[in-house]
């Protein structure tokens, strides 16, 4: 049985899922299959590490960090193309 989420947790859950999908779409631009696979595993590991986090303030910090890292990764992926 899934725990009941507060409205804030519900919103954050959607933001986390959206960020995860955004990361995965970005990896599709990586031409080398091995690098793409390793990058996806790294992303998955980072998201899995915090999947049981319930503190909304901590989740906000993690989302901001993920957004900054996404921008860095995006600029790195574009330089590989």
Q: What band does 69 get if pLDDT is binned at 50, 70 and 90?
A: very high
Torsion of CA 12, 14, 15, 18, to 10 degrees: 160
- Residue reference for tokens 């890292």: 69
Domain around 38: 20-80
pLDDT at 13 over 60: yes
Contact at 8 Å (CB) between 65 and 50? no
> Does 32 fall in a domain?
yes
* Tens digit of each residue's pLDDT (9 = 90 or more) over 52-67: 999 999 999 999 999 9
- Residue reference for tokens 């299959």: 33
* Tens digit of each residue's pLDDT (9 = 90 or more) over 31-40: 999 999 999 9
Structural domains in the chain (count): 1
> Does 68 fall in a domain?
yes
In this structure, the number of other CB atoms found within 10 A of the CB of residue 75 comes to: 9
> Does 2 fall in a domain?
no
> Does 61 fall in a domain?
yes
> Does 7 fall in a domain?
no
Q: Whole-model pTM?
A: 0.86
> Of 49, 43, 6, 1, which is closest to residue 23 (Cα–Cα)?
43
> Of 50, 48, 70, 73, which is closest to residue 62 (Cα–Cα)?
50
């Amino acid at each position: 049985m899934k725990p009941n989420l507060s409205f804030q947790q519900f919103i954050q859950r959607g933001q986390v899922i959206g960020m995860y999908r955004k990361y995965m779409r970005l990896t599709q631009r990586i031409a080398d299959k091995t690098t793409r696979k390793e990058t996806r595993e790294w992303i998955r590991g980072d998201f899995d590490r915090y999947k049981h986090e319930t503190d909304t303030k901590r989740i906000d910090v993690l989302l901001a960090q993920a957004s900054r890292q996404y921008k860095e990764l995006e600029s790195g992926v574009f330089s590989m193309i």
